[in-house]
């Protein structure tokens, strides 16, 4: 081709990246890899092939991990953990700095090996993935340096089992290993079956950095190996992958007292308003859906365009699609590389080919033979169409239109996922109005796929829970320094079922701001230590839970209100409780047979004032991200929280659970102390006189063992907390797997409700969810 022909066609020439060094590294290892355990590579066992998806050529053979292999790796990690944590944050920071430097030193080797193994374009591996890997280790070295000062009273979980996906093999490794090591944990990591090579290269980097033996262990294998790691004697599990597998992990870890972080699937909306810069929005969409071939959990795979510009936008988009270059991932001029494996390619084809709705447009660009799929647009769909709801995980964009901002929000939130979203408008007021209304853990304004180690990343709904990045991500790898004592089941006092009462009070629940009879019409007698009947408490059932949850969802305006106003209400609750302190103290003493009623009421009043004080002081932070702009890590309410209140502290426990939750903007369904519920039924009147809107606080009484699974399985409850003395942790966590709601359970451990643990800042963390909003600057 002559120079004149080049200028006339403006075609890109080939710019191949040499793969010799990466292939040589594979050969130097014998082209067969064992696990990396206890600081050294093990002899290969039964192996499987890992292939270059662009060519189908075999790159290496990798060992299939067995249950015994996983157990050996966990044992090595356990041996190393105490000494590693004992180094202190400052000691561990030195190793993390060394890892960051070595990643930079070997950046080209990592980038080429990642592209060979995964099929993503070398430009993405070289310019995005590997620099972000180094950034994460540098950032977490800093967090380790400051750990003792910034996280007092917290310590490492212990041994972490970590499972990473095939779409960002090395970057997801960094997202998990860096915070785990910074916090003092040791790691057993399982890379994806299709893409294990960069994890094995990272193991070599760990040796070069002088990392103590057993701190990082790599066990390769398929899903069976991952399942073995989840079942192993680890203290925390962190998983990135599909929602289906995440649900199984939630069920498998139920009741084991483990830490758990899940970063799962998504069907992220890409919202384009009619006043957006359409050309910029098209380019942003290229990055949102065809970055890494659309094999991205937060890909902007659902395009929502305002009707007035839909036709023009789709025309620009189709023209841009036709110019995308699909081909050899090692060619630096290629935009879209290979699909990771023929199995994934078959899944993409099956989903698209089974669709009969809308109009399908495939880019008019050359598609090589092999594991490649053309950039595809399916427009004119309705929200109920399968492609609008199911995660495709490929270079396929689906589209529909909207008319008003309210409709845009409704369409964007019409999904079981909640990972990320993009909003495009030249009117920043529009963007900032929409962003808080979106059910997503990350919102990009006039941009897409922006990531940084300082900015937390993670989802809501069935996109999982927990955050990776920033101090929020580090906190997921820390636990309280001291575990509580074993909690003994508290039984109610026995007594006669019926005795004459001065005033016959009808036993009622508190639902929607009103006292309501229990659906079943049953109540039970509550007796004092001498067996004398004090009164009756209603027995709530499944329908009462439903009614309480409906009332809580109907009080959504509470979450949108000003924090200052919420604080005033919580203060008012404390004031009105103080006015009746003597009455409540006497009631508690009689219920419990003790003499601590006065102290409990005083502590409950103080607790109201503490959480009211926090209401307008826990809003989030500005993350110092490396863009011309900012990222706001905003603390939002979780939503509807169901809580099993402590049995041992009938008033203080209820207030300690209720106050932080509603101060942060949540609505609650509280199940009162099972043996001593009358302190809660007396509390109704305090709520009635404290300007608490109906539905914000709902109180049920009855058997915890029957009500807890109902709350945990309820699809309209976003989180369940349990401080009950009944053994409920396993049942709650297992039932919560249905919609992957957040849980906070006591694992049979007591909490000192009258001490610092009763107002631990952990309540604020569990009462809020972090939404990271990226706001670039510029005209």
Catalytic residues: 263
47-51 and 464-465 beta bridge pairing = unpaired
In sequence order, what are the beta bridge partners of 444?
Answer: 422, 774
DSSP of 8-33, one letter per residue?
A: HH-PPPP-BPP-HHHHHHHHHTTTEE
* Vertex 120: Cα angle to 115 and 121 (nearest 5): 85
**What is the residue whose two structure tokens read 């209603």?**
538
Q: Which residues are CB-contacts of 398 (< 8 A; sequence separation ≥ 6)? A: 301, 302, 303, 358, 377, 378, 379, 381, 385, 387, 388, 392
435 and 419 Cβ atoms separated by less than 8 Å: no
Closest CA to 46 of 222, 301, 261, 164: 222
Look up residue 219 and give its two tokens. Answer: 């066990």
Q: What own/partner pairs with CB < 8 Å and gap ≥ 24 does 684-687 have?
A: 684/508, 684/510, 684/515, 686/573, 686/576, 686/577, 686/580, 687/510, 687/513, 687/573
Element of type H or E holding 162: strand 159-163
Look up residue 168 and give its two tokens. Answer: 């960002």
Instruction: Read off the DSSP letter of residue 492.
Output: P
For 678, the 3-state DSSP assignment is helix
742-745 and 719-722 beta bridge pairing = parallel
In sequence order, what are the beta bridge partners of 206?
Answer: none
User: What are the backbone dihedrals phi and psi of residue 16, each rounded to the nearest 5 degrees, phi first?
Assistant: -70, 140
Q: CB-based burial of residue 778 (10 Å sphere; 0-12 exposed, 13-18 middle, 19+ buried)?
A: exposed
CA distance 277 to 282: 9
SS (H, E, C) 318-378: HHHHHCCCECCCCECCCCECCCCCHHHHHHHHHHHHCCCCCEEEECCCCCCCCCCCCCEEE
């Amino acid at each position: 081709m002559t120079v004149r022909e080049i200028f006339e066609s403006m075609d890109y020439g080939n710019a191949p990246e040499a793969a010799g060094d990466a292939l040589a590294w594979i050969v130097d290892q014998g082209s067969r890899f064992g696990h990396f355990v206890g600081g050294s590579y093990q002899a290969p066992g039964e192996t499987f092939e890992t292939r270059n998806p662009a060519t189908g050529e075999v790159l290496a053979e990798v060992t299939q991990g067995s249950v015994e292999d996983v157990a050996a790796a966990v044992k090595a990690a356990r041996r190393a953990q105490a000494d590693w944590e004992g180094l202190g944050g400052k000691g561990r920071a030195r190793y993390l700095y060394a890892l960051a430097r070595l990643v930079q030193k070997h950046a080209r080797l990592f980038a080429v090996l990642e592209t060979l193994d995964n099929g993503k374009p070398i430009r993405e591996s070289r310019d995005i993935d590997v620099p972000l890997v180094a950034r994460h280790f540098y950032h977490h070295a800093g967090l380790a340096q400051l750990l003792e000062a910034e996280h007092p009273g917290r310590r490492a979980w212990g041994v972490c089992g970590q499972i990473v996906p095939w779409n960002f093999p090395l970057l997801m490794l960094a997202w998990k290993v860096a915070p785990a090591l910074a916090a003092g944990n040791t790691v057993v990591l399982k890379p994806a079956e299709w893409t294990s090579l960069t994890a094995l290269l990272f193991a070599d980097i760990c040796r070069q950095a002088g990392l103590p033996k057993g701190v990082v262990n790599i066990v390769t294998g398929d899903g069976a190996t991952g399942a073995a790691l989840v079942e192993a004697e680890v203290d925390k599990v962190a998983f990135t992958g599909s929602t289906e597998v995440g649900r199984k992990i939630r069920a498998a870890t139920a009741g084991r007292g483990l830490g758990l972080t899940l970063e799962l699937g998504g069907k992220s909306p890409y919202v384009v308003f009619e006043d957006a810069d359409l050309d910029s929005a098209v380019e942003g969409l290229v990055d949102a859906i065809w970055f890494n071939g659309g094999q991205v959990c937060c890909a902007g795979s659902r395009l929502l365009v305002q009707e007035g510009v839909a036709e023009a936008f789709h025309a620009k988009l189709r023209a841009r699609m036709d110019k995308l270059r699909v081909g050899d991932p090692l060619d630096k001029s290629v935009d879209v590389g290979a699909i990771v494996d023929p199995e994934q390619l078959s899944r993409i084809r099956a989903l698209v080919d089974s669709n009969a709705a809308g109009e399908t447009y495939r880019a008019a660009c050359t598609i090589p033979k092999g594991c490649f799929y053309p950039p595809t647009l399916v427009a004119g769909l309705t929200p109920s169409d399968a492609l609008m709801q199911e995660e495709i995980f490929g270079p396929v964009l689906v589209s529909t239109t909207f008319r008003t901002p309210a409709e845009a929000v409704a369409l964007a939130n019409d999904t079981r996922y909640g990972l990320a979203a993009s909003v495009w408008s030249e009117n920043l007021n529009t963007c900032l109005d929409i962003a808080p209304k979106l059910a997503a853990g990350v919102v990009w304004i006039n941009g897409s796929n922006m990531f940084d180690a300082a900015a937390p990343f993670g989802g809501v709904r069935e996109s999982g829970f927990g955050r990776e990045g920033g101090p929020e991500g580090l906190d997921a790898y820390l636990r309280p320094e001291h575990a509580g004592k074993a909690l003994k089941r508290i039984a109610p006092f026995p007594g006669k079922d019926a005795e004459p009462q001065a005033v016959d009070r009808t036993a009622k629940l508190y639902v929607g701001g009103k006292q309501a009879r229990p659906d079943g019409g049953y109540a039970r007698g509550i007796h004092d230590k001498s067996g004398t009947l004090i009164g009756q408490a209603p027995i709530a059932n499944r329908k009462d839970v439903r009614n309480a949850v409906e009332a809580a969802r109907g009080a959504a305006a509470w979450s949108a209100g000003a924090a200052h106003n919420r604080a005033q209400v919580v203060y008012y609750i404390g004031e009105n409780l103080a006015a009746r302190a003597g009455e409540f103290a006497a009631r508690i003493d009689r219920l419990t047979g003790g003499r601590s009623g006065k102290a409990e009421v005083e502590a409950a009043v103080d607790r109201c004032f503490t959480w009211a004080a926090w209401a307008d002081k826990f809003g989030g932070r500005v993350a110092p991200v490396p863009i011309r702009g900012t990222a706001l890590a905003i603390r939002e309410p979780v939503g509807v929280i169901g809580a099993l209140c402590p049995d041992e502290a009938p008033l203080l426990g209820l207030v300690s659970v209720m106050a932080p939750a509603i101060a942060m903007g949540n609505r609650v369904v509280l199940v009162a102390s099972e043996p001593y519920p009358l302190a809660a039924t007396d509390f109704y009147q305090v709520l009635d006189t404290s300007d608490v809107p109906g539905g914000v606080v709902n109180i049920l009484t009855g058997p915890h063992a029957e009500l807890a699974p109902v709350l945990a399985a309820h699809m309209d409850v976003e989180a369940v907390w349990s401080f009950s003395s009944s053994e409920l942790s396993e049942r709650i966590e297992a039932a919560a797997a249905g919609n992957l709601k957040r849980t906070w359970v006591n694992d049979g451990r007591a909490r000192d409700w009258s001490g610092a643990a009763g107002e631990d800042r952990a309540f604020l963390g569990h009462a809020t969810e972090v939404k990271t909003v990226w706001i670039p600057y510029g005209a």
